[in-house]
Structure 1
Amino acid sequence: MNIFRLAGDMTHLLSVIVLLLKIHTIKSCAGISLKTQELFALVFASRYLDIVTDFISLYNTIMKLIFLGTSFSIVWYMRRHKIVRRSYDKEQDTFRHYFLILPCFVLALFINEKFTFKEVMWAFSLYLEAVAILPQLVLLQRTRNIDNLTGQYVLLLGAYRALYILNWIYRYITEPNYVHWITWISGTVQTLLYADFFYYYFNSWKNNVKLQLPA
């Protein structure tokens, strides 16, 4: 494992910790899209089908368990916890995320590395993860005023994808025959979706003003 992969994993993990800190400690999910969290839960559930059949390493298994457990815990908190769900802005979080699932699945049926159940579901998880952040970004544009923890959560998610791109570049240079077009293209699309948020986040940080996205 190279430093970019490790940094990406730790940044991803930190983003989840920040979100759980907001939900569990402050008892609030204001500004967080349940639609995005449900998509992430589906991403991990479809990606880690091999958790009970293929052992790669202890680190790999632990990280899979963490992301599976935390993603479903966040969805549970936002749907079922009496105090947390009161802060959920259902009227603003109206992106029809179900319409993202079918196109991603159809794409996975036609474009995959191998036409087997696990490989199709793996490709599906990559395509879905690429667009899963869309409901969250739309919600932030509608609410405009973004609290620090929510802003940091989205920033860390974007940074995780950017670090993975560096990981792929490093592996392409150092590993012979390392080519994964599906992963590269879907990951690049996902990172580009964060570009607008990055721009406004760093502008707010530079000018020491509250983060706001244009309507």
Structure 2
Amino acid sequence: MNIFRLAGDMTHLMSILVLLLKIYATKSCSGISLKTQELYALVFLTRYLDLFTDFISVYNTVMKLVFIGSSLAIVWCMRMHRTVKRSYDGQLDTFRHYFLVAACFLSALIVHEKFTFQEIFWAFSIYLEAVAILPQLVLLQRSGNVDNLTGQYVFFLGAYRALYILNWIYRYFTEQHFSRWIACISGLVQTALYADFFYYYFISWKNNSKLQLPA
């Protein structure tokens, strides 16, 4: 494992911890898109179908379990927890995310590396992760003001994908048979979706002011 992948994994884990901190400390999910969280849960469930068939390392297995478990826990809290679900911004979180699921699954059937059950769902998870943040970004844009923990959560998610691009570049030059071009292209698309958010995030950080996104 190279330093870029490790940093990406830790940044991804940090984003989840920040989100869990927000939910459990404040008993609120205000500003968080349930639809994005459902998409991420679907991403991890379909990507890690090899969890009980292909053992790579203890680290790899633990991280898979953490991502699956935490994503399902977040969705459960936002849907079922008596206090948390009251703060959900359902009127703002109206992105039709099922269109993303359908489009990504169709793309996986057409564009994949191998026509096998596991590879089709791996490609589907990669495509879906690239656009899963869209409901969250739309919700933040509609609400305008972004609280500190929500802003940090989205920032760490974007940073994780940027670090993974460096990981893929490193692997391309150091591994003889590295060919995950689907992940590379999807990662670039996903990182590009964060560009506008990153701009306003750094502006607010530079001016030591509250993060605000234009409606």
TM-score higher than 0.5: yes
d(CA) in 2 for partners of 1:182, 1:92: 32
Q: CA deviation at 1:112?
A: 0.6
d(CA) in 2 for partners of 1:209, 1:100: 34
1:96 aligns with 2:96: yes
d(CA) in 2 for partners of 1:83, 1:62: 30
Q: CA deviation at 1:173?
A: 1.4
Aligned to 2:18: 18
Mapping of residues 181-196 of structure 1, within 5 Å: 181-196=181-196
Counterpart amino acid of residue 135 in structure 1: P
Task: Spell out, residue by residue over 1:11-65, the C-alpha distance to the aligned partner (whole angstroms, 9 max, x if none).
Answer: 0000000000010111010000000000000000000011011101100000000
Task: Spell out, residue by residue over 1:101-139, the C-alpha distance to the aligned partner (whole angstroms, 9 max, x if none).
Answer: 011001100111100000000000000000000000000
Counterpart amino acid of residue 136 in structure 2: Q
d(CA) in 1 for partners of 2:83, 2:13: 25
d(CA) in 1 for partners of 2:125, 2:100: 12
Aligned to 1:159: 159
Aligned to 1:40: 40
d(CA) in 2 for partners of 1:74, 1:105: 24
Aligned to 1:69: 69
Aligned to 1:53: 53
Give the superposed CA RMSD: 0.6
Mapping of residues 76-91 of structure 1, within 5 Å: 76-91=76-91
Counterpart amino acid of residue 36 in structure 1: T
Counterpart amino acid of residue 72 in structure 1: L
1:209 aligns with 2:209: yes
Stretches of 4+ aligned residues off by more than 6 angstroms: none
Paired residues in the alignment total 215
Instruction: For residue 56 of structure 1, give the secondary structure of its aligned residue in structure 2.
Output: coil
d(CA) in 2 for partners of 1:62, 1:128: 22
d(CA) in 1 for partners of 2:169, 2:119: 23
d(CA) in 1 for partners of 2:59, 2:192: 29
Aligned to 1:168: 168
Aligned to 2:149: 149
d(CA) in 1 for partners of 2:199, 2:173: 29
d(CA) in 2 for partners of 1:34, 1:95: 10
d(CA) in 2 for partners of 1:32, 1:57: 33
Q: CA deviation at 1:181?
A: 1.1
Counterpart amino acid of residue 176 in structure 1: Q
d(CA) in 2 for partners of 1:67, 1:170: 24
Instruction: For residue 127 of structure 1, give the secondary structure of its aligned residue in structure 2.
Output: helix
Aligned to 1:108: 108
d(CA) in 1 for partners of 2:118, 2:187: 19
Counterpart amino acid of residue 145 in structure 1: N
Aligned to 2:28: 28
- The answer for unaligned runs of 5 or more in structure 1 is none
Instruction: For residue 124 of structure 2, give the secondary structure of its aligned residue in structure 1.
Output: helix
Task: Spell out, residue by residue over 1:129-173, the C-alpha distance to the aligned partner (whole angstroms, 9 max, x if none).
Answer: 000000000000000100000000000000000000001111111
Instruction: For residue 189 of structure 1, give the secondary structure of its aligned residue in structure 2.
Output: helix
Q: Which moved more, 1:103-112 or 1:173-182?
A: 173-182
